[in-house]
Amino acid sequence: MAVLPLTAVSLGVSTAQAATPNASPRVALPNTVNPAVAHSEKKGDVPAAQQISVSVSLKLRDTDALDRFLTAVTTPGAPEYGHYLTPEQFTARFGPTQAAVDQVRTYLAQQGLTVSDVSANRQVVNARGTAAQVSQAFGTHESAYLDPQLQRAFFANDAAASIPSDLASVVQGVSGLDNHAVRKNRLATPNSVTPNTASASPSGMAPAQYTGAYNLNKTGADGTGTTVALWEFDGYQSSNLTTYDSQYGLSGPAVSTVSVDGANYDSAPGQGQGEVELDSEIVRGAAPKATQLVYEAPNSDQGEIDMANKIVTDNRVSVVSISWGSCEPDTTAASMTAVDNAFKQAAAQGISIFSASGDDGSRDCTRSTSGSGVKAVDFPASSPHQTGVGGTNLKVSSGNAYSSESAWSTAGGGVSTVFAKPSWQTGTGVSGTMRTVPDVSSNADPQSGFAIYTAGAWQVYGGTSAAAPLWSGYAAQFNQKAKAAGQAVLGEASPRLYSVANGSGYGSTFHDVTTGANQDFSAKAGYDQVTGWGSPVADALTTALLGGGTTPPSGGCTAAQLVANGGFESGTASPWTASSGVVSNSSSEAAHSGSWKAWLDGYGSAHTDTLSQTVSIPAGCASAKLTFWLHVDTAETGSTAYDKLTVQANSTTLATYSNVDAAAGYVQRTLDLTSFAGQTVTVKFTGTEDSSLQTSFVIDDVALNVG
């Protein structure tokens, strides 16, 4: 594997750092010492004046509600299903507050650190200062070390960081106190081929072979209208990608680079160039018309965290492909949690993430500090909010059809020591209380490797870094099909893939890989910790995920409930747009269910309140019924309609209610929206009250059921 070198630090002993923090009570931040410290030789102090950059990660808010939302948004039939949030909505509901950011900024400035930037979602505050200032701010000491396993110098904090107790409620962790961690690509070459041995003509698997074997050529999609992010710590040359496209007759939007923290390797790509070009070329082969954005970041904890947050706040992509990682025992849990929090936002926004599971089997630290004696899995593949992709050896017939498949002997897989098993990870072969890896797999064995054009010549490459972009290309295909069917994008893929795998159609939607093993786990029927559920039968899997045939029942309509937060129990209006104070848990007007409802008007003076939400009704739906519970409470008398509630779909008025419809309690109302099938519709409630005598229009448990 190619490893990006980190700059060696001075090993000379310096003037002592100011290591005594302020006298105010402090709280230790767990998991902030790099595990390599325990295995390395201490060489002295880091010079007190040496500049160090740190990332302070802030805690998300209302995490229980966030977990409920992430479950609901991928559960067919749930009110929130497919109703993803914008970055602004996510930050408003679950992100750190501006007050928390200001509190952290103030503290860092008091310690002499310079805040360089704050992520747009307020999850990360980046700062820079001298080693002495950093030590003062975080109550630790920076020392120079030598890693004897890697023969690499690095700096690190000797003990856990700490912060003043008044910051403990808002700070998740701090990264950048060491520069040991480095992400490695998951790229492998055949045993018979010396790495970087180039050829003038391609050998290895061509796009027609892997798209044929996995039925990617039978979905009727090519990625048109979708965008995929490639997660990279190195660069590429556009000319190599063009040569690949020309060789295989592929065409699509030009690949472009998005710089993170000033990184842009494209003018002089390093040892990871083959990885970047592999990722791009496999996505191109699977989904040629998809737009590709190559996010390039510094290879550091801070770079990884900032890249994750930039991708979700940019919100330009629906799929992310990750082929770089580090073994869990060699990475601080604080940094992994910071990245996983950004992945939670990705899931809430409907972004699918596929990560390579690693190329060292169930001993992912084989080529790093912790060594081959440790059972370990790779991060980010172990995150519960992305899909870990394992590796197989694929055999293809002469007609480019699927022949057979077995587990690749060094495909990453096993049990996380950091993340608990998510609720969706169930099924035959799934056991224990911790997250297991991988979730799915595809061809990765370099002996059945891919033809890749890189650095001016043809190579044969494998590795789970080939499997992750293949699945990412499939997700781009699916998102194109879903849009055409009026459905939501794939979003967090694992819950939906596990649902299909646990159903009666498993055998027709996945190739269940049952032979082969890595060091500690064997492939077997159903789920296993080498190949997950197996590789895709892309056309059948797409049909299952869309909920029917290529032309689903009811002419392309899957039965679903489309309104999100219809009971207002999130305690906020989002994703509704509402007048101030409309979403309320006031005891003056009872909710139909739960504690929250939408209360329009009731002021006894001239006033107008509105409540609206935009939904897309799939084409071909034979039925679309809007239902809601309405309680009209009024001080008006007689049969004259003074105060009115109007219900509209776009500019069409569906119904009007007034003070004349007052009742002692709630009455369920049903309105027909079937004529809007195939359209995006804004459902709007407008309450208008005249200058005297109040009328309250109280709305709860809104639903729009289609089928």
Buried/exposed 63-94: b ≥16 CB within 10 Å, e otherwise? eeebeebbbbbbbeebbbbbbbbebebbbebb
Residues 458 and 604 in one domain: no
Structure tokens at 143: 């020392």
Could you tell me if residue 516 is inside a domain? yes
* Percent of the chain clearing pLDDT 90 (strictly above): 82
Q: Judge if pTM exceeds 0.85.
A: no
Q: Are residues 150 and 201 in the same domain?
A: no
Sign of CA dihedral 296, 298, 301, 303: negative
Judged against a pLDDT cut of 70, whether residue 476 lies above it is answered with yes
Q: How far is CA 319 from CA 235, 276, 475, in A?
A: 19, 16, 7
What does the CA dihedral 372, 377, 380, 386 come to, rounded to 10 degrees? 160
- Residue pair 624/674 in contact (Cβ under 8 Å)? The answer is yes
Q: How far is residue 147's CA from residue 154's CA, in Å, rounded to a whole number?
A: 8
Say whether pLDDT at 15 is over 80.
no
- Is the pLDDT at 563 greater than 80? The verdict is yes
Eight-class DSSP state of 85: P
Beta strands 577-578 and 607-616 are antiparallel
Check whether residue 590 and residue 534 sit in a common domain. no
Arithmetic mean of pLDDT, 334-354:
97
Give domain status of residue 80, yes or no: no
Do 585 and 519 belong to one domain?
A: no
Rounded to an integer, what distance in angstroms lies between the CA atom of residue 498 and that of residue 390? 15
**Residue 184 or 439, more confident:** 439
CA 367, 369, 372, 374 torsion-angle sign: negative
Count of structural domains, the chain: 3
Same domain, 169 and 227: no
Residue 552 lies in a domain: no
The mean pLDDT value for 359-368 works out to 93
Cα dist from 698 to 198, 589, 605, 610, 665, whole Å: 71, 8, 17, 12, 10
CB 608 within 8 A of CB 688: yes
Counting Cβ atoms within 10 Å, is residue 173 exposed (0-12), middle (13-18) or buried (19+)?
buried
SS3 304: helix
pLDDT tens-digit series, residues 221-265: 999 999 999 999 999 999 999 999 999 999 999 999 999 999 999
Q: Is the pLDDT of residue 307 over 50?
A: yes
- Smallest CA-to-CA distance from 15 within 38, 36, 43, 45 is with 45
Q: Mark whether 441 and 491 lie in a shared domain.
A: yes
* 376 and 460 share one domain: yes
The answer as to whether 181 is a domain residue is no
Q: How far apart are the first and last CA of the chain?
A: 51
Give domain status of residue 394, yes or no: yes
Q: What is the pLDDT of residues 98-115, one digit of tens each?
A: 999 999 999 999 999 999
Please enumerate in sequence order all residues whose Cβ is within 8 A of that of 67, keeping only pairs 6 or more positions apart, or say none: none
For residue 383, which of 428, 347, 330, 432 has the smallest C-alpha distance? 347
Residues 285 and 365 in one domain: yes
Q: Flag whether 499 is in a domain.
A: yes
Residue of 208, 144, 102, 134 lying closest to 8 (CA atoms): 144
Collapse the DSSP code of 650 into the 3-class scheme (helix H, G, I; strand E, B; otherwise coil) and give the result.
Answer: coil
Residue 446, domain member (yes or no): yes
Q: What is the mean pLDDT of residues 391-420?
A: 97
Strand, helix or coil for residue 204: coil
pLDDT band for position 548 (cuts 50, 70, 90):
very low
State whether residue 118 is helix, strand or coil.
Answer: strand
Q: Does residue 131 sit in the same domain as residue 247?
A: no
Mean predicted lDDT score pLDDT of the chain: 92
Is residue 196 pLDDT above 90, yes or no? no
Rounded CA separation 308/585 (Å): 36
112 and 55 co-located in one domain: yes
For residue 555, is pLDDT > 90?
Answer: no
Do both 537 and 603 map to the same domain? no
Go through 224-254 and write b for each residue having 16 or more CB atoms within 10 A of its CB, e for each that does not. Answer: bebbbbbbbbbbbbeebbebbbebbebebee
Lowest mean pLDDT among 113-127, 201-215, 606-620: 606-620
Distances (CA, A) of 445 to 57, 186, 277, 503: 37, 11, 18, 29
Q: What is the CATH number of the domain that holds 652?
A: 2.60.120.260
Last residue of some domain: 175, 201, 236?
175
CA 434 to chain centre: 19
122: domain CATH number is: 3.30.70
Do 87 and 301 form a contact (C-beta atoms < 8 A)? no
With helix as H, strand as E and coil as C, how does 437-488 read? ECCEEEECCHHHCEEEEECCEEEEEECHHHHHHHHHHHHHHHHHHHHHCCCC
CA 58 to chain centre: 18
Q: Which residues are bridge partners to 174 per DSSP?
A: 56
Structural domain ending residue among the three candidates 175, 207, 232: 175
Q: Sort strands 457-461 and 319-322 into parallel, antiparallel or unpaired.
A: unpaired
Is 606 buried (19+), middle (13-18) or exposed (0-12) by CB count in 10 A? exposed
* Residue range of the domain that includes 169: 26-60+95-175
3-state secondary structure 327-352: EHHHCCHHHHHHHHHHHHHHHHHCCE
Quick one: pLDDT band at residue 6, thresholds 50, 70, 90? very low
| 707: confidence class by pLDDT, cuts 50, 70, 90 | confident
Residues paired with 193 in a beta bridge: none
Q: Which run of H or E residues covers position 184?
A: strand 184-185
pLDDT at 561: 87
Confirm whether 74 is domain-assigned.
Answer: no
For 651-670, b where at least 16 C-beta lie within 10 A, e where not — what string? eeeeeebbbbbbeeebeebe
Give the pLDDT of residue 547.
86
Per-residue pLDDT tens digits for 73-92: 998 888 889 999 999 999 99
pLDDT tens digits, 483-506: 999 899 999 999 999 999 999 999
Per-residue exposure over 269-298, b if at least 16 CB sit within 10 Å of its own CB, e if not? beebbbbbbbbbbbbbbbbbbbbbbbbbbb
- Of 518, 545, 572, the position where a domain reaches its end is 545
Tell me, what CATH number does 424's domain have? 3.40.50.200
Q: How far apart are CA 176 and CA 179, in angstroms?
A: 6
C-alpha to C-alpha distances, 450 to 32, 97, 187, 193, 219, nearest whole angstrom = 39, 47, 11, 13, 22
Q: Residue 4: its pLDDT value, please?
A: 32
Does one domain contain both 153 and 192?
A: no
